[in-house]
């Protein structure tokens, strides 16, 4: 079991053999834009550790506003160079270094309702600035499975061939992000990979934590979404890193998630068994859900190293021991696209 945040961070940032092998072949430095979010710090530290294990010297630069100075210190201690920038100010791009490899992680989801213009600026305007500034680079950009419509649970999830049908302004703005990266990729022959992620989880946030905490605290769990996909954050970051070797023009699109659709009801009951209490369930499962089929990703990179069963076991222990959380609910149950 994972007993502390330090142990958790160490696990999340431990590079896989495949990550290390990538760095033996990858040419040039790496820039991570939006590095201070939920996933960025552990990704940057994984990158630094992979380069060290591969015996290569890379300049690894993380860019963010760094509203939390502790995150900046964490990255610097890990060997990551940090740059503060307000990326919605186009003049800030003049201060950023050239880099053959770029991972784009900036974006806005929660709080979108009521502040739609900021969401569009972050999710559409900023990607255009990045795509133009780094059109000579390889770019891996995080997207979201929210670009898909709700699909029948029995379908196995939307594939990359499923036509986007974003519900709500957040999802629409994410599709705009993709379209702008695609536009500049086609204009400049920029190699790009777009990762449609849902849902990354570690022990401090994610769908499993949301469900587990509700069960533990005796709050009701809404099962109307019916089912979800999850992937361990470390595995998602490993795929993002290794996707640098698969960028192409027009962009490669990959669904990034775990191999199964997890029943919300079944997960709640599993947590109930761990906590010795019956979960309170509300609602009735709809026939559709936000689900993605990540078969293409798994064929390229293999199955995730951490199973859903392991994540549930770790999360239950974390909740019982009072482990730290980011206090950022995923709102996985949302069916109207309003976040």
**Angle formed by the axes of helices 17-25 and 40-54, to 10°?**
70
How much is the pLDDT for 110? 66
Q: Angle, nearest 10°, between helix axes 169-188 and 126-133?
A: 20
Look up the pTM and report it.
0.96
The span from the CA of 179 to the CA of 140, in Å, is: 14
pLDDT at 183: 98
Which pLDDT score, from 0 to 100, does residue 337 have? 87
> Could you tell me the mean pLDDT of each successive run of 10 residues in the chain, 339 residues long?
96 98 96 96 97 96 95 96 95 94 91 84 96 98 97 97 96 97 98 97 97 98 97 98 98 98 98 97 97 98 97 98 93 89
What does the alpha-carbon distance between residue 92 and residue 190 come to, in Å, rounded to a whole number? Answer: 22
Give the integer Cα–Cα distance in Å for 221 and 215: 7
Note the pLDDT of residue 132.
Answer: 97
Q: Which CATH architecture has domain 5-201+232-260+290-305?
A: 3-Layer(aba) Sandwich (3.40)
DSSP for residue 124: I
The pLDDT value recorded for residue 338 is 86
Cα 272 from Cα 269, distance rounded (Å): 5
């Amino acid at each position: 079991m994972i007993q502390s945040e330090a142990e958790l961070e160490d696990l999340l940032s431990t590079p896989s053999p495949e990550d290390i092998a990538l760095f033996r072949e990858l040419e040039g430095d790496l820039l991570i834009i939006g590095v201070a979010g939920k996933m960025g710090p552990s990704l940057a530290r994984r990158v630094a550790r992979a380069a060290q294990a591969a015996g290569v010297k890379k300049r690894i630069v993380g860019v963010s506003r760094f509203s939390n100075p502790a995150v900046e210190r964490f990255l610097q201690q890990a060997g990551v160079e940090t740059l503060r920038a307000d990326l919605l100010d186009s003049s800030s791009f003049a201060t950023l270094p050239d880099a053959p490899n770029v991972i784009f992680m900036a974006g806005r989801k929660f709080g979108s309702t009521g502040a739609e213009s900021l969401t569009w600026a972050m999710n559409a305007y900023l990607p255009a600035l990045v795509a133009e500034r780094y059109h000579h680079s390889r770019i891996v950009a995080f997207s979201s499975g929210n670009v898909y419509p709700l699909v029948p649970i029995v379908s196995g999830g939307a594939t990359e061939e499923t036509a986007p049908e974003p519900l709500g302004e957040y999802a629409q703005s994410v599709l705009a992000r993709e379209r702008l990266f695609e536009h500049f990729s086609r204009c400049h022959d920029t190699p790009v990979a777009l990762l449609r992620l849902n849902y990354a989880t570690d022990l401090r946030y994610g769908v499993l934590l949301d469900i587990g905490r509700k069960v533990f605290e005796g709050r009701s769990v809404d099962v109307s979404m019916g089912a979800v996909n999850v992937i361990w954050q470390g595995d998602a970051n490993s795929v993002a890193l290794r996707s640098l070797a698969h960028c192409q023009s027009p962009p490669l699109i990959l669904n990034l998630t775990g191999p199964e659709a997890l029943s919300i009801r079944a997960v709640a009951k599993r947590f109930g068994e761990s906590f010795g209490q019956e979960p309170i369930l509300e609602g009735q499962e709809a026939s559709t859900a936000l689900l993605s089929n990540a078969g293409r990703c798994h064929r390229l990179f293999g199955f995730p190293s951490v199973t859903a069963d392991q994540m549930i076991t770790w999360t239950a222990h974390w909740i019982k021991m009072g482990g730290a959380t980011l206090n950022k609910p995923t709102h996985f149950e949302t069916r109207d696209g309003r976040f």
